Chain A
Amino acid sequence: MTQFKTHISRRSFFKSTVIVGGGMLLGFNWLSSCMREEDAARALVLPDEWFDINAFLKIGNNGVVTIMAPNPEIGQNVKTSLPMIVAEELDVDWNQVIVEQAPLNTDAFTRQVAGGSQSVRQSWEGLRKAGATARHMLVAAAAARWGVDPADCSTSKGVITGEDGRQLRYEEVATEAAGMEVPEEVELKDPSEFKIVGTGHGNVDIEKIITGQPLYGIDTQKEGMQFAVVLRPPAFGQKLVSFDDSEARKVNGVTDVIRFGDKIAVLAKSTWPAIKGKKALRAQWAVDTPLESTAQHDKAMVDLLDKRSEEPMRKDGDVKKAFAEADQVLERVYEAPYLPHNPMEPMNFYADVREDGVELTGPTQTPAGARREVAELLGRNESEITLMMTRQGGGFGRRLYNDPAQEAAEISSLAKSPVQLVFTREDDMTAGTYRPATKYKVRASIKDGQITGYHLTEAAMSSHLYGSIAHFFPAGIIPNFLFEAHAVESNITTGAWRAPHTNFHAFVDQSFFDELAEALKADPVLLRLDLLEKVKELQDDRIQYSPERLQGVIRLVAEKGNWGKAPEGVYQGFSAYYCHNTHVAELAEVVLNDGKPVLKKIYCAIDCGIVVNPLAARNQAEGGIIDGIGHAMYGDLTFSDGQPSYNNFDTYRLIRMSEAPEVEVHFVENDIAPTGLGEPPFPPAAPAFANAVYKATGKRLYKFPFVKELEG
């Protein structure tokens, strides 16, 4: 065991209570049990009394332990995985654990955010210490009672054992433990001692999900509440001039129509009349800022691809010279459209703005941001606002943006009534914050069988990629290297979308690498391994990935997928990519069906350090890969006159089961602190597929969505 500074102060120990849904018409139950099915018979009995040990956990007088799930759950499994980490160091039986969704509490918890695949990585140490500190205090309390040295006591499954074999259960010393000195340093387990972490544990909400109990923001129904559906300007750049709500008000169940800014809210007793009322509104819109179209965007981006940037993101040597002296120059352009996030649960939020306080409930990836923005909007203090996080029907980045919470708060404040704001799917798909449409130009120079120059230019709508991507492989080992990025200004709102920028950059980078290997007459896997050898010699602290770990996943997936030894009629494609602190390599297998390429299978190798919950990790990898393929194949959103071309699933295509490849995932085993999985498996999927399509058909793919080229 190693000693670690705890940084847990007395201040963070606060009195907590079990949260039950006050004033709820629908009983939300914030507690979730981790019990296995065989234990369901002797269902967990809630204790009469809880002992608060610290902000993360409390122990019941019957031995049941409640562990808080601090972060927003958007399907990335943190509601299960994070409490597992606490339980591990606390040394309790996972079957005796109840998980409670924590509300927003910035005093007790740090980083209550879902984004960037960072939840596990950034919480790992803190959660371990929270569990270990509690264990330390419980042991100290038992040792004090026995008059022995705590160092001579051991713990297992919630029981403290003394040197002489005497035993006390955690709940028996919980009161004394809560009064113990908080240790300045605690011992953390050696990963080899882990019993809960590294073992597959099912989703703590599974029982509620499979029986349809209220769980999501959209399920919120409270006393006195009205439902609100909002009409927003149909095109980006429009503003509201006037409207006629006489027909809307005639709809049975509609209670009010309220204008706020350029939007109009229809309030009703239930969702359907609110939707009908919205359809019955007659609004006049005027052009405020120019209405934009995809053709225009395309031209603006193409123009920027040839523009030199004043501040390149990375510059080594002299690419101009390298290209002038080259034997061969390879130049390719890659294109990707805007994408809506389309979480299955449409945007929604509950707000009750009252004189005596503001209550917010709903799905957000950034609850602290939601509270801050609502406070600013209403001119209230943050301390007046409570925020409860619900389980979220997907996020994919969309719920990093709190326009739903703001709109709900504004409507509630104007209507002087609690309001549940619901976006229809059409609203959800057309309200913006898209993955920006992006183009890349990549050029490479080859001389004497070596890559001498590499020049990548990005042009993206409203945003451009961030710093660390410029230092991804193969930066550093190519003597002349230039990486530039430009943004085109637009009134179409954009934002982070699952694996921001890397979701497309990986395709560009890894497809281009395949062509480079071909030009060099090299095996793309061996070429990667060779070049990564050179990365090992670099002294460049801008390079964050580990060449050893990237080589590790490349070798693992090449072995598992039999790289280079495909049976007759099976065509392989390869990719390897590091992003969001995790190393991933993928191998795709394509076959031809009536001459058309069909993706059969993707093999994947991942190095994310310690795998906290193997079941959930498998799910994240399988889902991320299929999602990566789905959006590369079908995802498409274009604009004409400021208006999105699609607004629902009748025209906007998401991948379905029959189109999903088989996925086989392998994890590298090691003791390195864990990193995230919500995003990293996604980006390498599309290039592995595209490289296999080339092998099968001789056709290179340069443009998302692939379906346009593959299905004609």
Chain B
Amino acid sequence: MAQYTLNINGEQRTVDVDPDTPLLWVLRDDLKLVGTKYGCGVAQCGVCTVHVNGVAMRSCTFPVSGVGVAEVTTIEGLSKNGDHPVQKAWKQHDVPQCGYCQAGQIMTAAAFLKDNPNPSEKEIAAAMNGVICRCATYTQIKAAVKAAAKL
């Protein structure tokens, strides 16, 4: 076990875990930030996506020992009042079905739109391809990403 002081959603949080513990489980079990979801654990489904220094990263294969002083943002910290443009667009389009993958979808979309504020449909599909939605909400995700770009 080792102590790590992490910068999560703008707060310093200290945890005592094994160095190989994926950031995902530190967030969920140790810090009780359960908005970041577990789907596969092998960097394939994207539902565990968080921002590390503003870049979308899969937390399920990112060991806590590698986080260092990086700024980590989770779905809980994406905005103060749930009013990030992507969150707003998600609401407007009533995107979620079961909702389980949506934190990963939203975090992926938010990081993508920051780099590419005016994306084409093809670019949206390429960027969002990494996050699986078993309920297949893809039609509304695409529409919401487009709408968020305009908010």
Contacts and interface: CB of A to CB of B under 8 A. Distances in A.
Interface in B99-151: 99-103, 106, 124-126, 128-130, 132-142
A424 interface: yes
A344 B47 CA distance: 9
Interface string B70-91: 0000111010001000011011
Interface string B1-31: 1000000000000000110111001001110
A227 B99 CA distance: 23
Interface string B31-51: 011111111111011010000
A662 B140 CA distance: 10
A222 to B, nearest CB: 12
A619 B124 CA distance: 20
A620 B97 contact: yes
Indicate the member of A213, A393, A626 with the most B CB atoms within 10 Å. Answer: A393
B127 to A, nearest CB: 9
Interface string A200-215: 1011011101111111
A252 B2 CA distance: 11
B129 A213 contact: no
Contacts of B124: 657
B56 to A, nearest CB: 15
A343 interface: yes
> For chain A, which range describes its interface: under 10, 10 to 19, 20 to 34, or 35 or more residues?
35 or more
6 contacts: A343-B98, A425-B40, A425-B42, A648-B40, A648-B44, A649-B39
A28 to B, nearest CB: 10
A94 B59 CA distance: 39
Interface stretch (A267-275, A444-452, A566-574): A267-275
Interface string A246-273: 0000001100000000000000011111
Given A211-B76, A345-B37, A658-B126, A619 B22 contact: no
A210 B101 contact: no
Contacts, number: 195
A649 B134 contact: no
B54 interface: no
Nearest to B107: A212
A269 B94 CA distance: 37
Given A214-B34, A272-B25, A660 B136 contact: yes
Nearest to B79: A211
A213 B29 CA distance: 14
Interface in A187-245: 200, 202-203, 205-207, 209-216, 218-219, 221, 227
Contacts of B139: 622, 626, 660, 662-663
A205 B136 CA distance: 18
A649 B44 contact: yes
Given A203-B99, A218-B38, A211 B75 contact: yes
A649 B45 contact: yes
B137 A623 contact: yes
A654 B137 contact: no
B29 A271 contact: yes
Nearest to A662: B139
A600 to B, nearest CB: 13
Contacts of A486: none
A658 B121 CA distance: 10
Contacts of A273: 18
A656 interface: yes
Contact of A211 (B42, B82, B129, B133): B82
A438 interface: no
B98 A615 contact: no
Given A211-B82, A424-B41, A660 B32 contact: no
A252 B18 contact: yes
Given A205-B99, A649-B42, A25 B132 contact: no
A513 B111 CA distance: 48
Interface in A618-658: 619-620, 622-627, 630, 648-650, 654-658
B44 A210 contact: no
A212 B100 contact: no
Nearest to A80: B94
**Residue from B42, B75, B101, B139 having most chain A Cβ neighbours under 10 A:** B139
Given A207-B82, A212-B34, A75 B99 contact: yes
Given A75-B97, A271-B28, A272-B17, 11 more contacts: A203-B96, A210-B82, A211-B82, A216-B37, A394-B135, A619-B97, A649-B132, A650-B42, A655-B138, A656-B129, A663-B139
A115 interface: no
Contacts of A288: none
A252 B29 contact: no
Interface centre among B30, B130, B135, B136 (most CB of A within 10 A): B136
